[in-house]
Amino acid sequence: MITAPRGTHDILPGAQFGWRDSARWQHLEAELRRISHQYGYVELRPPVFEATELFARGVGESTDIVQKEMFTIQPRGRAGGDGAGEPTLTLRPEFTAGLVRAYIENGLHNLPQPTKIFTYGPAFRAERPQKGRFRQFHQWDVEVFGAADAAVDAEVIEIGIALAKRMGLGDLEVDLNSIGCPVCRPAYREKLREHLRPHAHELCEDCQARLERNPLRVLDCKVDADHPAIRSAPVSVEHLCHDCRTHFDQLQRHLRALGIPHRVNPRIVRGLDYYTRTVFEVLHPRLGAQSALWGGGRYDGLIELLGGRPTPGVGFALGMERLLMVLDESAAPGPGAPRPDVFLAPLGAAARERALPILYALRRAGLAADIDYLDRSLKAQMKYAGKAGARYVAILGDAELARGVCTLRDMATGDQREVALESLVEAVRT
């Protein structure tokens, strides 16, 4: 038997599949679209794959994503060619770089600013699957281009929390940090190197390589998280320039005004090189080691780095699987499967043939309607309609059809009444 690739999952119909129930995904997608529009964000849909160079430059060549986790392919070229000379392509491991590319390429900077966009869909990373971490996963991504105000940072934190609350999830923890800017960060990075160099031989192999290229990444290491040298390392918030300190203080004031509890966590640096100033994570204890439901921050230099005008940016990506897993484990009520408004129960093949035009008329009227295609007994049809959650069953026998009526049964009360077929739409709607 051929099975799904490791680190992927099927989204299936039926509440018995828990967080993989397609009805739950549809509900989440509807809510994230609704709240995005409520906050003034518009949708941008980038390709699933981009030029590999985009992620190498945007995400950072020293990151684990670029070095270890990207799914990269070589195009075959035209007419069965070998693709020689064409750039390699990579399935997106994250959304921000592709959205920035689209912002620059399509001239969105010429629109009234700021540009507030959202998107959602699959992303791909070749990493070891575990709870809350997959090789194909889905994210809701929110970005604001063209606004440097700390109030915007607060907004992108708040919109994610608002979605989680709308889905019925509480007990969220917001961890916050500032990693400075090109003015103050170089001095901090050097202090961090000086602190860690005497302990380099004690660190994991990855951190030994990170120490010279990007020492902030050492603080994010899960292997060395409890190393004494990391616990005692200098923290970025104590080495901020005046502008970064002012921005960080303003952000915290905005969060307090919004009633969002938070804590400063100097170990949060995020795993991507493009971040400046604000970095944050929103956590839930039910995910254990992978407790971050979503995270993001500010990246004021990324648009310029990728060829655009100097433009501030801030955003986040929320793991949709992770959110649904936590909702499943917290017993938050799901939306339930879609219920038919009416199920047609014809008594025999001849009655079914005559009932099909009625079925199509009900659907054209905007009702969710279905019919038995298996020529089952009335008892079996009623049992199936009950399991499907149908509100009504319209029983259609030859005698009823000859008189232009059906027997309409209310599945909640068990009451039955005879209804003229020409009035069936109205009867089901009431």
What digits encode the pLDDT tens for the residues 112-158? 999 999 999 999 998 887 777 899 999 999 999 999 999 999 999 99
Model confidence at 407: pLDDT above 90 = yes
In a domain, 111, yes or no: yes
Q: Which of 329, 357, 391 is a domain's end point?
A: 329
Is 304 in the same domain as 361? no
What is residue 82's predicted lDDT score, i.e. its pLDDT?
A: 52
Is 106 in the same domain as 49? yes
In a domain, 355, yes or no: yes
Is 317 in the same domain as 347? no
Q: How confident is the model at residue 255 (pLDDT cuts 50, 70, 90)?
A: very high
Is 423 in the same domain as 292? no
Domain at 150, CATH number: 3.30.930.10
**Mean predicted confidence (pLDDT) in 182-203:** 87
What is residue 128's predicted lDDT score, i.e. its pLDDT?
A: 81
pLDDT, averaged across the chain: 89
Is 154 in the same domain as 284? yes
**Cβ count within 10 A of residue 67:** 13
- Per the structure, the count of domains in the chain is 2
In a domain, 191, yes or no: no
As a whole number of angstroms, the distance between CA 348 and CA 374 comes to 10
Model confidence at 391: pLDDT above 50 = yes
HSE-up of 274 (CA within 13 Å, CB side)? 30
In a domain, 189, yes or no: no
Q: How confident is the model at residue 231 (pLDDT cuts 50, 70, 90)?
A: confident
**Mean predicted confidence (pLDDT) in 244-256:** 97
Q: How confident is the model at residue 227 (pLDDT cuts 50, 70, 90)?
A: confident
End-to-end Cα spacing for the chain: 49
Is 251 in the same domain as 358? no
The pTM (predicted TM-score) of the whole model is 0.85
Q: How confident is the model at residue 271 (pLDDT cuts 50, 70, 90)?
A: low
Domain at 353, CATH number: 3.40.50.800
**pLDDT-wise least confident of 29-38, 161-170, 219-228, 382-391:** 219-228
**Mean predicted confidence (pLDDT) in 318-335:** 83
Model confidence at 163: pLDDT above 90 = yes
Backbone angles phi, psi at 39, to 5 degrees: -90, 5
Q: Which of 329, 354, 383 is a domain's end point?
A: 329
* Digit-coded pLDDT (tens) for 50-74: 999 998 887 776 666 777 788 898 8
In a domain, 6, yes or no: no
Backbone angles phi, psi at 303, to 5 degrees: -65, -40
Model confidence at 79: pLDDT above 50 = no
Is 401 in the same domain as 253? no
Annotated binding site: 94-96, 125, 139, 143, 270, 274-275
- pLDDT above 90: percentage of residues in the chain: 66
Is 418 in the same domain as 309? no
In a domain, 396, yes or no: yes
Model confidence at 78: pLDDT above 70 = no
Q: Which domain holds residue 124?
A: 15-184+240-329
What is residue 84's predicted lDDT score, i.e. its pLDDT?
A: 57
- pLDDT above 70: percentage of residues in the chain: 93
* Digit-coded pLDDT (tens) for 292-310: 889 999 999 899 999 999 9
What is residue 221's predicted lDDT score, i.e. its pLDDT?
A: 75
What is residue 149's predicted lDDT score, i.e. its pLDDT?
A: 96
260 CB-contact burial (10 Å; exposed 0-12 / middle 13-18 / buried 19+): middle
Annotated binding site for L-histidine: 94-96, 125, 139, 143, 270, 274-275
In a domain, 226, yes or no: no
What is residue 69's predicted lDDT score, i.e. its pLDDT?
A: 84
Q: Which of 272, 294, 329 is a domain's end point?
A: 329
Is 287 in the same domain as 410? no
